[in-house]
Structure formats: C-alpha cells, structure tokens
Structure 1
Amino acid sequence: MTSDTCLGTLLGTAVGDALGMPVEGLSHQNIRTYYKGIKEYRDDDKRGDFDAGQWTDDTQFTFAVARVVATATPTQWPAEAAMEYTSLQDKARRWGPTTRAAIERLATGTPPLEAGSAERPTDGAAMRAAPLGLWWAATDADRSTAFSAISNILRVTHAHPAALAAGWGQAAATRYCATHPLGDFDPADFWSHLVDTTVWGESQLGNDTRVSDRLKRLSDQLHEFPLDLRDECNGAGIAADEAWPFAVAMVARAPELLENTLLSGINVGGDADTTGAMMGALLGTLHGWDAFPDEWKNGLEATEHLRQQAQTFAKSILRPTSAA
C-alpha cells in the first residue's frame, strides 16, 4: 500500500460524491431524461444549491474520520470523532435527519456511543468507513481488534446493527483492495471474503443478517447489468442493505474500469452521491489517485486542500518503507 493508494481512497470518495451530487434521490429514468446521463461534474439543477464539482457531507464525514485516525489512538476515536462531527455543524451539507439529530445530541453532551441512531439502518456508516479500512490494512490488526475499533467510531452516529454491518463491510472491502493491487484483485475471492467478513461482523452485532443476506443473493449476479444489480438490491436507496451491497457489487463487476464503473453506478440513481462516494473510495484504492482523469482532478472542489489532508493521513498510517 502506498501514499497514492491512500490519496485514491480519500479523493476518490470526493470525486464519486461530487459526480453523484446533482442526481441524488433521482431515478435512473429522470437522470436520463433531465441530465442525459451523468458523464462529468454537473450543477445541481434540481435544488440549485451546489455547483459542478462540489461535494457533500459524504466527503466531509470521510475526511473527518481520516483526521481522527491520523491524530488519535483507536481508544480515543469515538470521543475525537464526536468533537470532529460537532465542529462540522456550521458547515453541514445535506445531512439527513438521522445524522443531524445525532450530531445535535453530541453537541449537547450525549456520550458518543449513545448518540447514534438505533432506529434507521442507513448507509451513513458505510459511506465514511474507507479510511478505517486503510488503517486496518496498514496495521494488519486481527479481526477482533479491528472490529472493536471500527465499530466504535462508526457507532458515534449510526448504532443500528445493519448500518454498522455495512460500515464494517466497507472497511473490509477497502482493506482487501488496499492489500490486493489491481493486477492481483480476484473478484470471486473478494466477494467470498466480503461475505465471510460481513457474516462474522453481524454475529458480533446481534441477529440482523439483512446485509450479508443481500451479499449472498448477489453472489451469482455479479456479471449482470447495473440496473439488474439495482433490482437485486431492491433499489439503490439509503438503506444499508441496498446502497452499500450495490456499490461493492459494481466494483466487483468491473474493477479494472475506473471511469465506466463509477459513472455506470451513479447513473442507476437512488442515493447516487453516497454510492458514488463508496465506489469512488474502492476504485480509488485499487487504481490510486494518479489514475483518475485530469478533468475530475482539476474540477473537484478544493482538490489541493483535500490532497494535503489525504497526504497527512497517509503519512500517519504508513511505515516509512511502504510510502511511495
């Protein structure tokens, strides 16, 4: 794993988020009708509050996690994340009601592990979990140690077992991509590992198996068209067992095609900025930041600022001999 890997993960999150931003919540049909498909950064014509290349809370939260990992020990992560998230309140971008309520409780002093939503199994934990997968890859922590650290930081805002299972799964997927460069990436092995790791994580969280059940149903569907994968996921909305399984299935379907895979997944519709962020993180981990098109690099909001933060994160987790 190199610094370019880490930059690919973090900046890839922002790229996917920004590409999906204007069509968040739209159907595939409406994306085709009103946008003629997403092929590049676009203004948010529906709501009118974002310009082309701008990113949303998906990127904010992911980089907040990265800052915590870079500056604190795993035992400090929940409290540090609570402070990071609270400091983002004045910069909030389209936070959903569940996350907003959790942040407000944190701001009034609710302990981090009690502030997360136990009611809604959304994809909000998965969309910010990629930096934790890089940490896991760099430290080579055993599964139990990694699960304790990762679930504690994700639980700050999302306590539902299914949400945590998807977040744990995204961390595991990122770790796999970081330790299996593109030439060594085997989609079948990736999927088998992902199912096994998610099943194990669910066993630590209780009896909710909806996320691993979805992964199992997708096991023999990974070569299907994106719209068929969406249908197998019962849509690509904000549910943890929809958006995240769809995102990882798209990456497993065509990991070698960075641009095509990312755009194809976003154009399916649904929670497009979050699926874009999750796919962008995994594809960025596999390909590295250098592989992204120049127009995506140059058109992204605050690229240099994000790149500097990503480099700081990379230096904090990589041994000197493993950095590029």
Structure 2
Amino acid sequence: MDATAGAVWGRVEQQDFRSRVRGTLLGAAVGDALGAPVDGLDMEGIRAAYGAEGVVDLGPAYGRRGAVTHLTQLTLFSVDGLIRAQVRRDTGAWHPPTDLHRAYLRWAATQRDWGPDERRKDDGWLAREEWLYARRDPARALLIGLGDETMGTPEMPKNPGEAGPEAAARSAPFGLLVGWEPQLVAQLSVECAAQTHGHPTAYLAAGAYAVIVHTLARGESLDGAVQRALALLAARPGHQPVSDSLQHALGAVRQGIPTPDRVADLAGDGTADRVVSAAVYCALVGEDVRHGLRLAVNHDGPSAATAALTGGLLGALHGETALPPAWLAELEGRPTILELADDFAMEMTQGPALHGPAGASPAWLARYPRV
C-alpha cells in the first residue's frame, strides 16, 4: 500500500494500523520506563535493590514512577520528523533525513533550554510540550552529534567510533512507514542513525531494527521479520557483527528457559548489534508483553535500551491492547504519546486530505509546519 494514498485504506485496516502505531510507541516507552530505575546496574545490583526476582513493576526514576529517558524523547521526535517530512513533500522538498535532523535538533534544544520558546512558531506542537524539557541522562554521542547544525551522513558520519544502541532505540518509527519498501525503511534509518552514531555496527543495527518493526507492522511474524532483516543486511558492507548477533538471538531461543545470564550474554558489551539481538530474543521468548519486558530489564546490560527496543517489537507485533494497562496508566507523557501516534496514523492514511492539491487544514499545518 502507498503511505500517501489514503484511499486504499479500509476502516479495519486503518484501525489495525493505528493500534500497531500506538502499540509500538507506547511499548517502547513502557519498556524504557521499566528499565530506567536500574539502567547501569548489573543483575547483582538489581537484586540487591528489588529482591530475588529483580524488577517486576514500574519503579521510581527521576522523581516519579513511570518516568522515561532520553530514548523515548528522541523516539517521539523521530515521529514528529517523519510527519513533517510528509507535509513538506507538498513543497517539492523531499529529503526525509534533513527533516529528521531538524527534529533531532529540536530535541537537542529541549536539553539546553528551560522550556519552550514561544518565539519559534515553526517548531510545531511537540516542541512546546513542557514535560519534554527534562534532561534524562542523554548519551554523550547524542549531545555531540546534535551539538551543531552539521548533519552526519553514512559517508561522513558524526561520532564514527560510536557503536552504542541509542540510535537504534529511536528507530522504531521508521518501521511504521508500512507503505514504503523495506530497503527504503532500512536506508532512512541508517542515514538518520549516522547523524549521531557513525560506527557501521550502530547504524546498521538501527536499519535492521527498523526493518523488523516494519515487517511486524505489516502483520508478519517476528521470526520472519528477523529473516527479512538478515536478507537485507547481507548486501551491506560491515554487516557481519549485526547479522551474527541476530543469528545468535535466534539460536538462543532453542537453548531452554530464558535466564538473565542468557540475556546478558546476548547484550554483551552493550553495542547496538548486541542490544538489538537481546531485545529480539526477549520478544521471541516472552510469554506475553509483561514477561518479555521483565526479561529485557533484568540482566547485566543496558536495561532501558534493551527494554525500549523489546517494547517496540512487542507493540508492533500485538498492538496497543496487549500492553499492561497498569503500566500504561503510570507512564510519563502518555497523552502526548497517544496524540502523536494518532497524528502519525492520520498522516499516513489520510495525508492528502490534510495538506494537498485539494486544500490544506490550517490546524494541521500549525501542528506540523512545512518549513
């Protein structure tokens, strides 16, 4: 289906898509919030703080239960950038990586400023959400990569030695471009990851993750989604670490009952390829969303990133209604996430009616300016 041609979407199809969009964004945020209180702790430290079972429920971080980290903040700005790219297409200016870079620069401003600057009318509504103006331990690579106006590219990336998982963890929204071909989804995710994470392991892991989400959002299985990502990776120089990690995750599924040690083995040193593989494993072996997310948090690796990536996969696979309601009720920023998710679904299914040759909605263009 063409993401710009709303006429091909039936009512049931639109409802399913909206549920998967909501599920992906809420799932990633819930995973992030579940892992935030213990991010940086090993399993021994987690058990010392939470008991033998480790984390089983949302805990306090940043002064409240259900708080999210910079990973969720940036994921929301990914969505904002994708909507803006679609709106700007009307002008003939069609270069989504540039629109995503502008969105990420708006996030970077939230890390410097005390609050929204009402003089910047072209920032759109998301940048005026005051709760986003909170510094939640952003990785140094993000602040450096977005510290000036220069946009990194795969040919000239920012932070060429940076292989961390943060770029992958903001890449779920690219997978929600269900009207795009998988290779284009991968390419956009790679190009946007290189704006902050220039090591091939980091940007190829981001591309692979986006393709997995994309395949799930189209209604296919998780195992099939991983196979699709592996097939696309094979043509990319430098893909071997990412491909090997994903194959390792698939193999681990057959090794018996999941344990924190097995998740930790997959997550390894916390590079993007390893963390994505751990998330894939947790999503594959989790009995339900709650179980999968608990597996993703309770191990020696980066809990917030692993669980955010896992939540994005499970949300895309099962949709919004599979997520634990009690966790959603306490999730920081949930109204904003839902509003943004529904705007994304509206843009992708009915965009031409909102801004196109037949006319434009002033309210929509105020939310998502063309400039």
Tell me the TM-score normalized by structure 2: 0.75
Structure 1's 57 and 65: CA in aligned 2 closer, same or farther, altered over 3 A?
same
CA contact (8 A) 2:186 2:211 kept: no
CA contact (8 A) 1:123 1:163 kept: yes
Deviation at 1:25, TM superposition (A): 0.9
Secondary structure at the aligned position of 2:326 is classed as helix
Q: What is the CA–CA distance in structure 2 between the aligned matches of 1:296 and 1:38, rounded to whole Å?
A: 13
Secondary structure at the aligned position of 1:9 is classed as helix
State the partner residue of 2:188: 149
Deviation at 1:84, TM superposition (A): 2.6
CA contact (8 A) 2:20 2:318 kept: yes
Q: What is the CA–CA distance in structure 2 between the aligned matches of 1:220 and 1:112, rounded to whole Å?
A: 35
**Aligned partner (choices 95, 105, 119) of residue 75 of structure 1:** 95
**Aligned partner (choices 270, 284, 305) of residue 238 of structure 1:** 270
Q: Deviations along 1:279-306, whole A, 9 cap, x unmatched?
A: 1111111121122222111111121122
**Aligned partner (choices 234, 246, 252) of residue 199 of structure 1:** 234
Structure 1's 293 and 231: CA in aligned 2 closer, same or farther, altered over 3 A?
closer
Kindly report the root-mean-square deviation, in angstroms, between the aligned alpha carbons of the 2 structures. Answer: 2.1
Pairing 1:95–2:128 present: no
| Bigger mean CA offset, 191-200 vs 261-270 | 191-200
Q: Percent identity?
A: 25
Q: Which of the two has higher C-alpha Rg? A: 2
CA contact (8 A) 2:263 2:299 kept: yes
Structure 1's 319 and 100: CA in aligned 2 closer, same or farther, altered over 3 A?
same
5+ residue gaps in structure 1?
none
Q: What is the CA–CA distance in structure 1 between the aligned matches of 2:180 and 2:187, rounded to whole Å?
A: 14
Q: Deviations along 1:211-233, whole A, 9 cap, x unmatched?
A: 11222233322134233433542
**Aligned partner (choices 329, 333, 354) of residue 298 of structure 1:** 329
Secondary structure at the aligned position of 2:273 is classed as coil
CA contact (8 A) 2:211 2:225 kept: no
Q: What is the CA–CA distance in structure 2 between the aligned matches of 1:168 and 1:57, rounded to whole Å?
A: 20
Q: Deviations along 1:71-126, whole A, 9 cap, x unmatched?
A: 1146143342343333332333211112121122x2xx323435621112111111
Structure 1's 67 and 289: CA in aligned 2 closer, same or farther, altered over 3 A?
same
Q: What is the CA–CA distance in structure 2 between the aligned matches of 1:197 and 1:228, rounded to whole Å?
A: 30
Q: Deviations along 1:252-273, whole A, 9 cap, x unmatched?
A: 223x511111112211242111
Counterparts of residues 137-176 of structure 1 (less than 5 Å) = 137=178, 139-141=179-181, 143=183, 145-176=184-215
Q: Which amino acid in structure 1 is aligned with residue 321 of structure 2?
A: D
Structure 1's 158 and 290: CA in aligned 2 closer, same or farther, altered over 3 A?
same
Structure 1's 141 and 279: CA in aligned 2 closer, same or farther, altered over 3 A?
same
Q: What is the CA–CA distance in structure 2 between the aligned matches of 1:305 and 1:262, rounded to whole Å?
A: 22
**Aligned partner (choices 263, 281, 285) of residue 249 of structure 1:** 281
CA contact (8 A) 1:123 1:240 kept: yes
Deviation at 1:3, TM superposition (A): 0.5
Q: What is the CA–CA distance in structure 2 between the aligned matches of 1:222 and 1:33, rounded to whole Å?
A: 28
State the partner residue of 1:86: 108
Structure 1's 118 and 24: CA in aligned 2 closer, same or farther, altered over 3 A?
same
5+ residue gaps in structure 2?
1-15, 87-93, 113-132, 352-371
Tell me the TM-score normalized by structure 1: 0.85
Deviation at 1:152, TM superposition (A): 1.9
Secondary structure at the aligned position of 2:166 is classed as coil
Deviation at 1:5, TM superposition (A): 0.7
Counterparts of residues 25-44 of structure 1 (less than 5 Å) = 25-36=40-51, 37-44=54-61
Deviation at 1:142, TM superposition (A): 5.2
Q: Which amino acid in structure 1 is aligned with residue 211 of structure 2?
A: A
Secondary structure at the aligned position of 1:263 is classed as helix
Q: What is the CA–CA distance in structure 1 between the aligned matches of 2:243 and 2:73, rounded to whole Å?
A: 28
Q: What is the CA–CA distance in structure 1 between the aligned matches of 2:151 and 2:290, rounded to whole Å?
A: 41
Q: What is the CA–CA distance in structure 2 between the aligned matches of 1:53 and 1:249, rounded to whole Å?
A: 24
